[in-house]
Amino acid sequence: MNILIADDELDMLKILKVYFEKEGYTVFLAEDGEKALDIFYQEKIDLAVIDWMMPHVSGVSVCKEIKQKGDTKVLMLTAKSEVENELYALNIGADDYVKKPFHPGILLTRAKKLLKDDQSILFEDLKIDLQAKKVFKNDVDLNLTKKEMDLISCFIRNRGKILSRENLLMTVWGIDYEGDDRTVDTHIRRLREKIGEELIQTHRGLGYSFVKNK
Cα dihedral across residues 150, 152, 157, 158: positive or negative:
positive
Q: Are strands 73-78 and 47-51 parallel, antiparallel or unpaired?
A: parallel
Task: Encode pLDDT of 100-140 as tens digits.
Answer: 889 999 999 999 888 876 666 777 788 888 777 889 998 89
Q: What's residue 213's pLDDT? A: 55
Per-residue confidence (pLDDT) for residue 39, from 0 to 100: 96
Facing residues of 97 across strands?
Answer: 76
pLDDT band per the 50, 70, 90 thresholds, residue 148 = very high
- Non-local (6+) Cβ contacts of 6 within 8 A are 29, 30, 31, 32, 33, 35, 36, 48, 49, 50, 51, 54, 59, 62
Tens of pLDDT, residue by residue over 179-207, are 787 899 999 999 999 998 888 999 999 99
Name the residue with higher pLDDT: 36 or 44: 36
Region label for 64, one of left (φ > 0), alpha (ψ between -120 and 50) or beta (otherwise): alpha
| Pair 33, 58: CB distance under 8 Å | yes
Q: What is the pLDDT of residues 64-98, one digit of tens each?
A: 999 888 778 999 998 776 666 667 777 778 888 89
pLDDT band (50, 70, 90) for residue 49:
very high
Residue 117's pLDDT is 60
> Poorest-confidence range of 41-45, 48-52, 60-64, 89-93?
89-93
pLDDT range class, residue 214, cuts 50, 70, 90: very low
- What is the reported pLDDT for 212? 66
pLDDT of residue 58 exceeding 70: yes
Residue 107 burial by Cβ neighbours in a 10 Å radius (0-12, 13-18, 19+): buried
CB count in 10 Å sphere of residue 184: 22
Global confidence as pTM: 0.58
| pLDDT recorded at residue 76 | 92
What are phi and psi for residue 146, nearest 5 degrees? -60, -45
Calculate what percentage of the chain has a pLDDT beyond 90: 48
